[in-house]
C-alpha cells in the first residue's frame, strides 16, 4: 500500500499485577472468583462510599513503566485523579477514575510516548446476557498514549511485541492477555487527508494488526469513491475481523473531566523516583546489547534469547557455570536458542512449564563435550527433557535408555560394512566422484547405530573402506 500514508497512535491499557484494587482492599482476582464476590461499596460505586488512597505499588509501577519508556516523570506537582464520565453498565458510578499524566514525552522503538497514566478498570458487561460482573472493577491499569508516529500495521505489531516483552521483564504487569488497545488511525490517499477514526477495545497484538489492515482498505475505498471518512468511534468484531461504526468520535469535553474531590493528589519526589530506579530490572534492549558485547554472539541470537526472560537468564547461568569462552558460549546458544526453543515450540509449552533448568543444559553440554553422547542423541534428550517436564537429568536418561556413544570400533566397523553392502548405488556414486554420497552412507550408519555413533569416526571408517575398494 505504497500509495497510502498512514498515521496511527495507540492508547494501550495493561493491568498491574497487584493483590488489591486501586482504591480499595478488594482482591484483583476476577478470573477464578464467582461473579460479584470480590467487591465492596467503593468498587460498586455505591453512594457515600469513599475511596482509599491510591495503591502505592500501582503508582510505583506506573513510574517504572514511564522511566523504561524514556518519559520525563512529573516531579513535585499535583497529579490528580479525574472522573471521566460516561454512561455504560460496567461503570456503576457513571465515571472512571484516570490520573493526570505521571510521565510525559518519552520514546520507545522510535515511537513517541505522549503520556503514561494510572487508571481503574471497569467491570465486565455481557450485553447478550445483560449481566455485569464487577469483580474486575477498580483493578489498576497502566495507560500508555503514543504519539501518532506509527506508519504501518507491521510497525504497530512490532512496537506492541517489544512493549509486552518490556512488561514481562518488569514482572509486575499482567501482559498481553490483559492488554487492551484503542487504535487511532487516519490515512492520506490521492492527496486527500481523511479524518481520524478510533477503534476501541482490541485485546491482542494480532487484533491491532488486523484492524489497521482493514481500516486502511476501508478508508482508502471511501476516499477513492469521492466520499469523506467520518470522524467516529468504531468497534472491532473479532470473529469477522472487521470494524463497525459505534458512535461519532468523542472529545475530551464529552467526558466532562473533573478532579475527584475524594482523592488527594499524588506528589512524586525526586527521592522516590531514585528509589524506584534502583529496583528496576535491565531492559530487553539493554540486555540484547550487553549479550552481543559481553558474549560475542550474533545480534539475531541475542534478540531471540532476550525475547524470553527465563531463556535469557538460563543462557547466562549455563555460560557462567561452564566457563565463559567462545566454545561454551556457542554451545549454550546452540542448545538453548536453537534446540531447546525448537522443542518447546513443537510441544507447545513455555520454558517455565517445561521444568527444564540451567543445570539440565549444563549437564547435557558436558556429556557432549566429553564424547559420551552424539549431537543426534543430544537432540533426542532435549525432547525427552521437555516431555518429562525436567524430572530427570540428561545423564539419568542416557543411562536408562543406553544412549552412550559407541566406543567399540569393531561394532562401528560392522555397521559401516553393513551400510556399504546394503547401498551399492551410493558406493558407486562416491567412487564416481559424488562426494555427497558419503553423507548418505553416514546417515545409514547413524540409523543402524540409533544415532550413537560419533560422526567424525564414521566418516573416517567409511573413507578408509571405500578408498580401499577403489
pLDDT tens readout for residues 253-266: 666 889 999 999 99
Alpha-carbon distance of 133 to 35, in angstroms, equals 5
Residues 7-25, mean pLDDT to the nearest whole number? 95
Structural domain total, the chain = 3
Assess whether pLDDT exceeds 80 at residue 287.
yes
Q: How confident is the model at residue 439 (pLDDT cuts 50, 70, 90)?
A: confident
Confirm whether 366 is domain-assigned. Answer: yes
Residue 295 lies in a domain: no
pLDDT given at position 373:
81
184 within 8 A of 196, measured Cβ to Cβ = yes
CB 212 within 8 A of CB 219: no
Q: How confident is the model at residue 438 (pLDDT cuts 50, 70, 90)?
A: confident
- Percent pLDDT > 70 in the chain is 93
Same domain, residue pair 360 and 229: no
Name 427's Cβ contacts closer than 8 Å, sequence gap at least 6. Answer: 420, 437, 441, 466, 469
- pLDDT of 140 above 90: yes
Q: Name 288's bridge partners.
A: none
Alpha helices for 242-323 (secondary structure H): 270-279, 284-295, 299-306, 309-322
Residues 112 and 259 in one domain: yes
383 & 365 share domain: yes
Residue 376 near residue 451, CB atoms below 8 Å: yes
Q: Give residue 1's pLDDT.
A: 54
Same domain, 384 and 426: no
Residue with cell 516483552: 165
Chain centroid to CA 86 = 33
- Cα separations (Å) of 426 from 413, 423, 455, 459? 18, 6, 18, 14
Q: In the structure, what pLDDT confidence band is assigned to residue 377 with cuts at 50, 70 and 90?
A: confident
What integer best gives the mean pLDDT of the chain? Answer: 88
Look at residue 300 and tell me if it is in a domain.
no
Q: Of 366, 401, 436, which residue constitutes the final position of a domain?
A: 401
Rg (CA), the chain: 30
The pLDDT tens digits for 36-91 are: 999 999 999 999 999 999 999 999 999 999 999 999 999 999 999 999 988 788 88
> Exposed/middle/buried for 42, CB within 10 Å: 0-12, 13-18, 19+?
buried
Whole-structure pTM value: 0.74
Range of the domain at 329: 309-401
Do 324 and 240 belong together in one domain? no
Residue 60: what pLDDT? Answer: 95
Residue 118: strand, helix, or coil: strand
How many CB atoms sit inside 10 A of residue 188's CB?
16
Judge if 272 and 360 occupy the same domain.
Answer: no
Both 15 and 106 in one domain: the answer is: yes
At 196-234, the pLDDT tens digits run 999 998 989 999 999 999 999 999 999 999 999 999 999
- Residues 238 and 160 placed together within one structural domain of the fold: yes
Residue 3 has pLDDT above 60, yes or no: yes
Report d(CA 297, CA 416) in Å as an integer.
Answer: 38
- Residue 404: is its pLDDT beyond 60? yes
Whether 11 and 159 map to the same domain: the answer is yes
Specify the higher pLDDT residue, 470 or 287.
287
Per-residue cell: 243? 470494524
**Would residue 355 count as lying in a domain?**
yes
Residue at 283 is within a domain = no
Do 350 and 434 lie in a common domain?
no
Looking at the structure, tell me whether residues 317 and 177 fall in a common domain.
no
Tell me whether residue 261 is in a domain.
yes
Amino acid at each position: 500500500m505504497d500509495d497510502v500514508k498512514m498515521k496511527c497512535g495507540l492508547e494501550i491499557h495493561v493491568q498491574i499485577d497487584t493483590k488489591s484494587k486501586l482504591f480499595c482492599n478488594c482482591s484483583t482476582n476476577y478470573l477464578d472468583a464467582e461473579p460479584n464476590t470480590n467487591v465492596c461499596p467503593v468498587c460498586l460505586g455505591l453512594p457515600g462510599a469513599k475511596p482509599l488512597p491510591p495503591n502505592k505499588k500501582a503508582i510505583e509501577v506506573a513510574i517504572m513503566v514511564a522511566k523504561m519508556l524514556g518519559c520525563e516523570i512529573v516531579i513535585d506537582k499535583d497529579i490528580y485523579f479525574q472522573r471521566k464520565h460516561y454512561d455504560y453498565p460496567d461503570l456503576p458510578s457513571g465515571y472512571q477514575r484516570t490520573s493526570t499524566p505521571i510521565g510525559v514525552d518519552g520514546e520507545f522503538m522510535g515511537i513517541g510516548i505522549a503520556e503514561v497514566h494510572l487508571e481503574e478498570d471497569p467491570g465486565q458487561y455481557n450485553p447478550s446476557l445483560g449481566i455485569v460482573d464487577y469483580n474486575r472493577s477498580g483493578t489498576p491499569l497502566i495507560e500508555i498514549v503514543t504519539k501518532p508516529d506509527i506508519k504501518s500495521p507491521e510497525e504497530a505489531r512490532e512496537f506492541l511485541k517489544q512493549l509486552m516483552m518490556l512488561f514481562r521483564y518488569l514482572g509486575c504487569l499482567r501482559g498481553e492477555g490483559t492488554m487492551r488497545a484503542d487504535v487511532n488511525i487516519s490515512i492520506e490517499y490521492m492527496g486527500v487527508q481523511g479524518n481520524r477514526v478510533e477503534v476501541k477495545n482490541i485485546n491482542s497484538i494480532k487484533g491491532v494488526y488486523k484492524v489497521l489492515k482493514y481500516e486502511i482498505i476501508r478508508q482508502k475505498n471511501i476516499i477513492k469513491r469521492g466520499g469523506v471518512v467520518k470522524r467516529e468511534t468504531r468497534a472491532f468484531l473479532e470473529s469477522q475481523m472487521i470494524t463497525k461504526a459505534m458512535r461519532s468520535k468523542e472529545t475530551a469535553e464529552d467526558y466532562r473531566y473533573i478532579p475527584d474531590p475524594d482523592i488527594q493528589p499524588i506528589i512524586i519526589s525526586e527521592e522516590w523516583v531514585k528509589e524506584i530506579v534502583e529496583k528496576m530490572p535491565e531492559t530487553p534492549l539493554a540486555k540484547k546489547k550487553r549479550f552481543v558485547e559481553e558474549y560475542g554472539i550474533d545480534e539475531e541470537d541475542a534478540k531471540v534469547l532476550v525475547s524470553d526472560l527465563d531463556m535469557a537468564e538460563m543462557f547466562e547461568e549455563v555460560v557462567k557455570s561452564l566457563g565463559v569462552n567462545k566454545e561454551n558460549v556457542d554451545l549454550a546458544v546452540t542448545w538453548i536458542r536453537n534446540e531447546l526453543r525448537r522443542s518447546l515450540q513443537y510441544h507447545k509449552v513455555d520454558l517455565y512449564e517445561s521444568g527444564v533448568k540451567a543445570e539440565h543444559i549444563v549437564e547435557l553440554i558436558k556429556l557432549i563435550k566429553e564424547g559420551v553422547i552424539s549431537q543426534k542423541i543430544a537432540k533426542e534428550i532435549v525432547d525427552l527433557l521437555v516431555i518429562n517436564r525436567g524430572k530427570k537429568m540428561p545423564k539419568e536418561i542416557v543411562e536408562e535408555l543406553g544412549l552412550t556413544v559407541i566406543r567399540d570400533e569393531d561394532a562401528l566397523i560392522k555397521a559401516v560394512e553393513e551400510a556399504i553392502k546394503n547401498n551399492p548405488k551410493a558406493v558407486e556414486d562416491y567412487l564416481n566422484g559424488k562426494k555427497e554420497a558419503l553423507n548418505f552412507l553416514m546417515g545409514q550408519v547413524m540409523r543402524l547405530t540409533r544415532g550413537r555413533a560419533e560422526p567424525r569416526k564414521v566418516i573416517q571408517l567409511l573413507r578408509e573402506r571405500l578408498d580401499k575398494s577403489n
